[in-house]
């Protein structure tokens, strides 16, 4: 039996309407209806309150509903961890470095001083996005591509020897390819 059916059964056993249960829970009747029909699930706080109201153990209330258990696990993973916070800090620093560097030097892709701030900012942004849980793959790959292109432009602007420049481009492209395959596998 799923969670929605258990809530409905417990509510009917108590001879309450959806409105009465909603009033006891301090939520809308529509929320109760969605829970009972399986269109949505209550959060853990509401589950605990339902357990108290119906005088049921948590096991009696939620055991056996695999979909609910999977959703609960997914929600718990989405809470911000220290690593996620670090990711947001890196993204913010990357934006600040890029904007500040752009304001310090004239806009010129061949100016190594200008590009050093842009590349540094993009590296921070890409690293931050990589450690934030749940970032869309396309966004991470886009940041990686933009960072690789900006790094190659930076290297060209530094007027390196041709062999060194080509070697650097091969390393950047190889690293980008390897990271892209890692991103796509996860």
Please say which residue of 77, 98, 122 terminates a domain: 77
55 and 119 in a single domain? The answer is: no
Domain residue limits at 39:
3-77
Domain end call among 77, 94, 116: 77
User: How many domains does the structure of the chain reveal?
Assistant: 2
> What is the tens place of the pLDDT at every residue in 108-119?
888 888 999 999
140 has a pLDDT exceeding 90: yes
Whether 154 and 180 map to the same domain: the answer is yes
Query: Are 141 and 104 found together in one domain?
Result: yes
| In contact, 122 and 96? CB cutoff 8 Å | no
Say if residue 88 is in the same domain as residue 141: yes
Q: Are 117 and 100 in contact (CB under 8 A)?
A: yes
Tell me the per-residue pLDDT of 6-46, one tens digit each, with 9 for 90 and over. 889 889 999 999 999 999 988 999 999 998 888 888 887 88
pTM reported for the whole predicted model: 0.57
**Is 118 in the same domain as 44?**
no
Position 102 pLDDT exceeds 80: yes
Do 87 and 167 have their domain in common? yes
Q: Specify whether 125 is located in the same domain as 68.
A: no
Q: Do 91 and 179 lie in a common domain?
A: yes
For helices 3-13 and 44-54, the axis angle rounded to 10 degrees is 30
Do 98 and 168 belong together in one domain? Answer: yes
- List helix spans (H) across the chain: 3-13, 18-25, 29-37, 44-54, 58-62, 66-77, 82-104, 112-131, 137-157, 162-185
Residues 45, 135 share a domain:
no
Question: In this structure, is the dihedral angle defined by the CA atoms of residues 65, 68, 73 and 74, taken in order, positive or negative?
Answer: positive
Domain end: 45, 77, 109, which one?
77
Burial class from Cβ neighbours inside 10 Å (0-12, 13-18, 19+) for residue 74 reads: exposed
Please tell me the predicted confidence (pLDDT) of residue 38: 83
pLDDT greater at residue 71 or residue 7: 7
Mark whether 152 and 165 lie in a shared domain.
yes
177 shares a domain with 139: yes
């Amino acid at each position: 039996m799923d969670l929605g059916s258990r809530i409905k059964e417990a509510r009917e056993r108590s001879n309450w309407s959806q409105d009465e249960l909603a009033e006891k829970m301090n939520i809308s009747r529509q929320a109760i209806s969605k829970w009972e029909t399986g269109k949505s699930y209550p959060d853990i706080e509401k589950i605990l309150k339902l357990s108290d109201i119906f005088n049921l153990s948590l096991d009696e209330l939620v055991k056996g509903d695999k979909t609910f258990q999977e959703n609960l696990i997914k929600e718990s993973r989405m809470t911000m961890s220290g690593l996620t916070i670090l990711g947001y800090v890196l993204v913010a620093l990357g934006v600040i470095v890029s904007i500040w560097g752009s304001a310090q030097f004239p806009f010129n892709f061949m100016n190594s001083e200008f590009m050093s701030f842009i590349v540094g900012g993009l590296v921070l942004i890409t690293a931050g996005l990589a450690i934030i849980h749940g970032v869309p793959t396309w966004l991470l790959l886009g940041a990686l591509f933009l960072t690789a292109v900006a790094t190659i432009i930076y290297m060209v602007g530094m007027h390196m020897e041709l062999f060194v420049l080509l070697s650097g481009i091969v390393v950047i492209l190889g690293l980008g390819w390897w990271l892209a395959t890692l991103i796509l596998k996860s």
